[in-house]
Structure 1
Amino acid sequence: MINQNESCGAEQISISYLTCLLSLLEEWTGVEHLEEYLSYLIYLTWLFMPLLILLLLPAVIVLLLYISVIILHIYKRKTDLKEAYLNDFWDGARQMLATIWYVHARIWNGYELRGLEKIPDGPALIVFYHGATPIDFFYLVATVLIRKKRILHIVADHFVFLIPGMKLLLDVFCVLHGSPEECRKVLENGGLLVIAPGGVREALFSDENYTIMWRNRKGFAQVAIDAKVPIIPMFTRNVRETIRIFGGRIRFLRSLYEYLRLPLLPVYGNFPVKLQTYFGDPIPYDPNVTAEELTEKAKNALQYLIDKHQEIPGNVWRALMERVTTERKDD
């Protein structure tokens, strides 16, 4: 540190620029030994840098979603409306975004999809286990659109429709509120409907043991019966290891969610773990099965996929190592 009587003029060649800057800051703020405070601040920054990264990485997914929205708005303005008479106006945009998300899935999570041949050409209802975020569903939508040229209709929680700026993205990718009438219409028109019966509750309060939390939900089963379509279970290995939840076991936070029905718990991670999505065998339509019985069948089928493909409890380090180890062979 230089003496207060020294100046930082051009003649003070031996004085470094940084030293001059610190001296001027001390004079301007009136704080002595500013260099020591800055050194301490830099030390704290390095100390907490890993924690900051863990908290900020999930924002990458949000950023990708908003980039997708921007691309859709650009596409809407630049695409000739006459194309709407030839095919679905949004086909080009869907394919473009599917490619972006598919590349991201392959690079960041080494994403793979197994059992795609179990998806019929006609209608079906897909039920899946909900991770802390639906990142595996984003990857699934992209992969199915690229490899089977089919759109997946997803039932989302009400709060999703309240997220600012997301309406166009939700509309283009056929996100539904989930009324029985909406769901039946999709299936009767030959579409693929995707539901996570555990919803946000399962996302927030399940854990590394991959506990299914459907409670008494059986409306999806009744929809499948009414539309006479099969139910196909789906599970993504390591989905709870990519992003994790703070405070999922705190009773007060659970009560707060039940009251507000908003996912207010903080998340961390977005680890580049290996993600593999598996489809189970379809549960065929049976007119003699009740909604309660079909719900139990679907739950058992999903539990079978978890037991077969997921090591319990889940472990982030092990899931990371699956990116570099020999590919696991399934029975």
Structure 2
Amino acid sequence: MEEMTGGNESCTAGPTSMSYLACLSYILEEWTGVEDIGDYLSYAFYILWVLFPLVVVFVLPGVIVILFYVSILWLHIYKRKNEIKEAYSHDVWIGAREMLATIWDGHGRIWHGYELHGVENIPQGPGLVVFYHGATPVDYIYFIARLHIMKKRCCNVVADHFVFRLPGFRILLEVFGVIHGPKEACVRTLEKGQLLAIAPGGVREALFSDEMYTILWSDRKGFAQVAIDAKVPIIPMFTQNVREGFRTLGGITTLWRKDFTPS
């Protein structure tokens, strides 16, 4: 490497160009007068390289949480607009759903390259969508967003009781038809001609399943009785790579799996 001695010489001067890090170090030394600044940069890049996986782990869920509360804020603003409500008098939330579907579908496309295949297998009338529960249900959110954009249809979903305790989520759950059950409520939803989705594995499957996509349904077969009582087809759904997109603690969680009993 050619030694740089003049303040006006380029980093690429001479037969051999300097590395970007060496060039940056040289420029910063010239500007700041701090010697051996390259060593500090090397340490900084090393720390960033080590911490990058941890940053990704926390940034992605953080973005999703922010999107949830942006969606909630938009619904509250929408609710205050009487002129929009009058434009959609048969269903005051149509415009809000379309806006949020566009936002979440864009997030799925950009961040995960989300694609939906087999939508033609969903009947025109009611049906029970049964899906594998990944570490987070964000794949289901992408599904209902894409379904709304492609077919202008909504799909209700059964969620665990803790979801209804999340601060500020009430309006979001009401607009998108999230219910807790019980079986009778599920049957009534289907008898109205609507779609209903359920992940039989629930929170246990989300936390304790693994990269082999082990199904943890235990004796949860009530969804089958719901389909029988409502006389609707069961539509299986699976999101490829949902475990790779969101990781849980893996083997660590198995240490307390037997003691975990979601209420």
Per the TM superposition, whether the score is higher than 0.5 is yes
Cα drift, residue 250 of structure 1: 3.6
Aligned to 1:98: 101
Q: For 2:64 and 2:125, how far apart are their aligned partners in 1?
A: 31
Q: For 1:86 and 1:251, how far apart are their aligned partners in 2?
A: 51
Pairs within 5 Å for 1:220-239: 220-239=223-242
The counterpart of 2:184, out of the listed 181, 186, 190, is: 181
Code of the residue aligned with 2:56 in structure 1: it is: L
The counterpart of 1:134, out of the listed 134, 137, 161, is: 137
Q: For 1:142 and 1:42, how far apart are their aligned partners in 2?
A: 41
Please tell me whether the aligned partners of residues 161 and 167 of structure 1 are also in contact (alpha carbons under 8 angstroms): yes
Unpaired segments of 5 or more residues in structure 2?
A: 1-29
TM-score under structure 1 normalisation? 0.64
TM-score under structure 2 normalisation? 0.79
Aligned to 1:241: 244
Please tell me whether the aligned partners of residues 132 and 201 of structure 2 are also in contact (alpha carbons under 8 angstroms): yes
Please tell me whether the aligned partners of residues 205 and 249 of structure 1 are also in contact (alpha carbons under 8 angstroms): no
Deviations 1:294-316 (A, max 9, x none): xxxxxxxxxxxxxxxxxxxxxxx
Cα drift, residue 166 of structure 1: 1.0
Residue 116 (1) aligns with residue 122 (2): no
Cα drift, residue 111 of structure 1: 1.3
In structure 2, the CA distance between the partners of 1:66 and 1:85, relative to structure 1 (3 Å rule), is closer
Code of the residue aligned with 1:55 in structure 2: it is: V
User: Aligned-pair RMSD on alpha carbons?
Assistant: 2.7
Q: For 1:177 and 1:248, how far apart are their aligned partners in 2?
A: 30
Deviations 1:183-242 (A, max 9, x none): 011100000000011111111111110111111011111111111111111111111110
Residue 168 (1) aligns with residue 157 (2): no
Q: For 1:215 and 1:168, how far apart are their aligned partners in 2?
A: 32
Q: Which structure: greater helix fraction?
A: 2
Q: For 1:152 and 1:82, how far apart are their aligned partners in 2?
A: 21
Deviations 1:3-34 (A, max 9, x none): xxxxxxxxxxxxx9979xxxxxxxxxxxxxxx
- Aligned identity (percent) is 57
Counting matched residue pairs gives 232
Pairs within 5 Å for 1:1-331: 42=44, 45-46=47-48, 48-56=50-58, 57-80=60-83, 83=86, 86-258=89-261, 261=262
Code of the residue aligned with 1:53 in structure 2: it is: V
Unpaired segments of 5 or more residues in structure 1?
A: 1-15, 20-34, 263-331
